[in-house]
Amino acid sequence: MSISQLRKRVYRTLKYKLARPSPPDLRTPFRGPVVVVGSAPQANLPAGLDRNFSIVTVNGSQAVTKNWGIERPDITFMQFNQIRGQNTNAVEVRRVLRGQSTKALYVFLWPEGEEALKAGLSAFHYQYESLTLVNKYERMALLDKVCGLRTAEMDASEKCSNGVNAVLFAFCHGASEVIITGINPRSTGHAYNNENLGRLHQTMDEMVFSKLLRDGWPLYTADPQVSSAIGIPLWMPA
């Protein structure tokens, strides 16, 4: 580790301790099971899904829930780069989200002001009832509060994916169970395109899943291949 990297790590660690950030807020806590939907190519409709479940989508995974007949997720997590980025994934996310809407939108690490964000969302006609900006330290607080783990987020190996952050958010705000689908750290590609793009954060995501299960959190998957590969129990409604 270089001196500049060490200084950056120390700075972030101290700032986190001094700021004592809280995780992103939710106005009305969850009162039942939460389905967190990612964009891995294999995703399954959870058994027994009905209006008692809350739906959280991540970036372009709203394309999956739309095929289930769900027009608007309860919550959408979106990474800042999806708003204006020109890489393949960002362009594809905007394509599948064009003209869509969500109830509550959380945008992570947006570097400009709220008005610039609204203009960026308006450019691809994405609508929302509420908009929340989430900074790095609030994201770090999610992992700390739910798992008791701290990270300085120096690189991809120390960061959770947005899908895992959505899982932590659900548990943080009262979910009775969390069922993931389309979230497979070991997969490549996305449900909404054929680019077969790689997936970051594999090591951190699997570590967090293991910690959640060891600590007794009610985490399940609707995807049999994820259950067998990673050890997350398969969702079977009572």
Over residues 14-66, the pLDDT tens digits come to 999 998 999 999 999 999 999 999 987 789 999 999 999 999 999 999 999 99
**Structure pTM?**
0.91
Assess contact for 73 and 102: CB atoms under 8 A.
yes
- Per-residue model confidence as pLDDT tens digits over 142-195: 999 999 999 888 888 888 999 999 999 999 999 999 999 999 887 654 444 455
Phi-psi region of 146 (alpha: psi -120 to 50; beta: other; left: phi over 0): alpha
Q: Evaluate if residue 2 carries a pLDDT over 90.
A: no
Q: Do 233 and 227 form a contact (C-beta atoms < 8 A)?
A: yes
218 band by pLDDT with thresholds 50, 70 and 90: very high
